[in-house]
Structure 1
Amino acid sequence: MPEPQLTQFKVLVFDVYGTLVDWETSIYERLKPILDRSKKPWSKKEALAAFGVVETDLQAQYPDMLYADILAKAHAEFERRLNGDGGSAAPVFASEGGSTSAVGADPSTSVSGAGDSERSSADAEHIAFGQSIKDWPIFPDTIPALAKLSETYKLTVLSNVDRSSFAHTRAALEGTGNFKFDHVMTAQDIGSYKPSTANFEYALKDVKEKFGVDKGEVLVVANSLFHDHVPANALGITSCWIRRPPAVMGQDASVHYAFDFETLGAMAEAVAKEKVKP
């Protein structure tokens, strides 16, 4: 069976945060005050891995919650679990059963033992974290690569985000006027978060209805192995891994992918080379 070619696909389905946007740098910088208060000498990798567990737990528990609120809640829950740690990160940050109280609804979600004014300050910090999506930086190669890829493909988005938060990112990505996304699908639209296969089934249905393109001509382009490549594998959708080293969140999974590039820019260059082959 011949090796797949990048140019055999018609629609690209992009993950955004981690693939097009550098969420890890921003998340880590905003977790540092919690780490400093707790006096935990964690590395960036340790902190991001722990935060990823918290976020995944909450997305599974609250599939209808807006992503900005998930982030605020995850920030509070990260601090709660950190403060309850007996010295080892792994047991406290393992998936826990039961529900987690909403930010500000229970003192356990704020700084342990804090009074009303301290809780109010802590809640404001959690909420600010949830609203920080608009400030997450775009990888330098992303916009030129998307402009180039738009000459060959329909560009679509399938992201674990709410519509309002993504509007800021979309404006920043499309601001040059050199390309536009052809279609956007968010967790808010679907009512669940990746890695649910429901999100990818929704995407395939939308792509078929809007562009008349079947699964065999759809390529998932994503950094997260856990959130994107695992469900793509389960549904038989071809995928391309954008590594973005030294990425941490979503990298702990065993998957198959047809293509593998360090950056989106490298992928765009590979597509251009294929197009000029005799």
Structure 2
Amino acid sequence: MDLTAFKTVSFDCYGTLIDWETGIAAVLTPWAEEQKIKVNTEELLLAYAESEAAVEREHPTTLYPDVIAEAFRRTGRRFAVPVSESWARTLGESVPGWPAFPDSAEALDRLARHYRLIILSNVHRAGFAGSNERLRGDFAAIITAEDVGGYKPSENHFRTLDATLPRLGVRRTELLHAAQSLFHDHVPAKREGLPSVWINRRHDRPGWGATPPPSENWSYALEFPSMSAFADAVDHAFTPRSP
């Protein structure tokens, strides 16, 4: 793939730029300890992933804080333990405080020297605004689940993205998508004919964590273990070669 052929990169945020697994586990783990549920973090995240995806599929217009609060309640039912409204509300309100990956802000700054950047996120506007205080990203467009009335891997985000490109003066062939989740992003990117790169944040860990396994065909053109590695490759691609 010629990385210099693109003018715009769209990004998933949670799992790619923001460490949502750490943010979710910061609530689920103490709850499990309080309830004396003997499971490890990966088991908690796996149960939660299935619950969140189901809620998003069943209630596509529900705001993300309410989605994750309900996903927490369903996670509790999987372990036959009720989740109090206090615990559910704690997770629902936690999104703006989730940490960024250490390399995200610096990598976005470098990538912005070569591309216009777009956010394509399964979250609400206020949640992303809080996250962007950590990312400090200069985004040409921000497309959230609240804006499109649906959650990836449905097509809503990508159809809205297509409608946004002409306003930015960008052709579809000049757009690249970057994301961690095969389920949420690389499946619909393939379905929509959008080239993508996999930011494989879990490259050193087995399993899927807080993301369900992909249920349809997926593909990606390049794989990087981090945003920093992606930015390095882009910087190298744009570096003039000596004659």
TM-score, normalised by the number of residues in structure 1 = 0.80
Q: How does 1:156-171 map to 2 (within 5 A)?
A: 156-171=118-133
Q: Alpha-carbon deviations, 1:187-222, whole Å to 9, x = none?
A: 000000000022211112112x22222222111100
Aligned match of 2:30 in 12, 28, 33? 33
Match of 2:220 in 1: 257
> SS of the counterpart of 2:161?
helix
Would you say the 8 A contact 1:238–1:257 is kept in 2? Answer: yes
Cα distance between partner residues in 2 of 1:34 and 1:190 = 32
Q: Which residue of 2 aligns with 1:188?
A: 146
Show the counterpart of 1:226.
183
Give the Cα–Cα distance (whole angstroms) in 1 for the partners of residues 132 and 239 of structure 2: 30
Q: Per-residue displacement from partner, 1:34-91 (whole Å, max 9, x unpaired)?
A: 322444322222211110000000001110100011111111221122217xxxxxxx
Match of 1:237 in 2: 194
Q: What does 1:86-125 align with in structure 2 at a 5 Å threshold?
A: 110-111=82-83, 122-125=84-87
Q: 1:250, CA displacement in angstroms?
A: 2.7
Letter in 2 for 1:202: T
Distance 1:81 1:33 in 2: 17
SS of residue paired to 2:86: helix
The equivalent position to 2:209 in structure 1, one of 248, 251, 270, is 248
Instruction: State the identity as a percent.
Output: 37
> How many residues were matched structurally?
235
Correspondence for 1:215: 172
Q: Please list the CA deviations of residues 228-252 of structure 1 after superposition, one character each: whole Å capped at 9, or x if unmatched.
A: 0000000110001000123623362
Q: Work out whether residues 15 and 158 of structure 1, in 8 Å CA contact, stay in contact via their aligned partners in 2.
A: yes
**Counterpart check, 1:141 vs 2:103:** yes
Q: Take 1:144 and 1:81, find their aligned partners in 2: how far apart are those partners?
A: 39
- List alignment gaps of at least 5 residues for structure 2: none
Q: Which amino acid aligns with 1:79?
A: G
Larger Rg: 1
Moved more, 31-40 or 180-189: 31-40
Structure 1, unpaired ranges of 5+ = 85-109, 112-121
Residue 130 (str. 1) matches residue 86 (str. 2): no
Q: Which amino acid aligns with 1:257?
A: Y
Aligned counterparts of 2:201 and 2:211: Cα–Cα separation in 1:
12
Q: 2:11 aligns with which of 9, 14, 25?
A: 14
Query: Given that residues 64 and 122 in structure 2 are in contact (C-alpha distance below 8 angstroms), is that contact kept between their aligned partners in structure 1?
Result: yes
- Which of 56, 59, 69 matches 2:53? 56
Tell whether the 8 Å contact from 2:49 to 2:210 is kept in structure 1 after alignment. Answer: yes
Q: Say whether the 8 Å CA contact 1:71–1:129 is kept in structure 2.
A: yes
Q: Runs in 1 of length 4+ with deviation above 4 angstroms?
A: none
